[in-house]
Amino acid sequence: MQANALMFCAEDRLVWDQLFTRQIKTIEHVSYAPFKKGLEALGFHAGHIPRFEEINETIGQLTGWQIYPVPGLIDNRHFFEQMMGRRFGSTQWLRKLSQLDYLEEPDMFHDVFGHIPLLTDPAIAEFLEGLANVANKHLDNEEVIEAIARIYWYTVEFGLVQEGTKIKIYGAGILSSIGESDFCLSVRANRIPFDLEKVIDTPYVKDKFQEQYFVLYSITQLKNVLKNLEMKYKINN
Ligand SMILES: [Fe+2]
């Protein structure tokens, strides 16, 4: 993969700098501890837009994951096939300065800042691979793929987890959004215990804050989620 540093303009660097600086402050006390550890291990900071080869060196050593460039959202088949081989697609472009607060589609700040630190956490790294393994057995079954997409959405994108006495954020969709980082832990948000059947029955929304957040009692619960998911669709297929 070629270095992507040359592709970035002055506005990109300003966008990364501003988003990074304010988001780090916002989530300092509310993000899942391994996320912060991952940020440190990767050496992400405000003054430098990370290069894919730098990222791959670190996550490759820690959990064997790699990232590869994608233009934006990709279809489920490709997404899960790649993820089964511990390959995670990331965009290589950044939003404009006028879009700092909200962008409907994922850009590099979401993909890299939000997702990549979690790929250094073995619990999340194994869960993602496991989810992709199940998906790849059911690629022609729309119902199962939709169920897995919802599980992905309410965990890796918008998940919360109990850490000691506090509820922390591990979902990349929240960690990369200044508004939702505050909202999801506020009294206005609806937080409920993670329940696989309920998650599968809950369609997701993309253009506003989530109507509910599913809270894991511990990140280790993800192992049970996978086991139960496999069992559910083994019986039905
Ligand atoms: Fe995402």
Cα(138)–Cα(233) distance, integer angstroms: 9
Query: Ligand 1 mean position to 36 CA, how many Å?
Result: 17
Q: Does pLDDT of 45 surpass 80?
A: yes
CB 140 within 8 A of CB 80: no
Give the model confidence (pLDDT) of 80-117 as tens digits.
999 999 999 999 999 999 998 888 889 999 999 999 99
Residue 133 phi, psi (nearest 5): -60, -45
The count of domains in the chain is 1
Q: For this structure, is 29 an active site residue?
A: no
Residues 6 or more apart whose CB falls under 8 angstroms from that of 40 comprise none
Of the residues 90, 115, 163, 177, which is catalytic?
115
Residue 192 lies inside a defined structural domain of this protein: yes
Write the CB contacts of 11 (distance below 8 Å, at least 6 apart in sequence): 96, 97
Number of residues written out for the chain: 237
Beta carbons of 116 and 38 less than 8 angstroms apart: yes
Q: Report yes or no on 29 lying in a domain.
A: yes
Residue 28 appears among annotated catalytic residues:
no
176 is known as an active-site residue: yes
Q: What is the pLDDT of residue 234?
A: 83
pLDDT at residue 123, rounded to an integer: 96
Find the CATH number of the domain harbouring 22. 1.10.800.10
Q: Which residue has the higher pLDDT, 5 or 210?
A: 210
Task: Quote the pLDDT of residue 58.
Answer: 96
* 51: containing domain: 5-232
| pLDDT, mean of residues 150-175 | 97
Q: Given a cut of 70, is residue 188 above it in pLDDT?
A: yes
Q: How confident is the model at residue 1 (pLDDT cuts 50, 70, 90)?
A: very low
**Residue 61: inside a domain, yes or no?**
yes
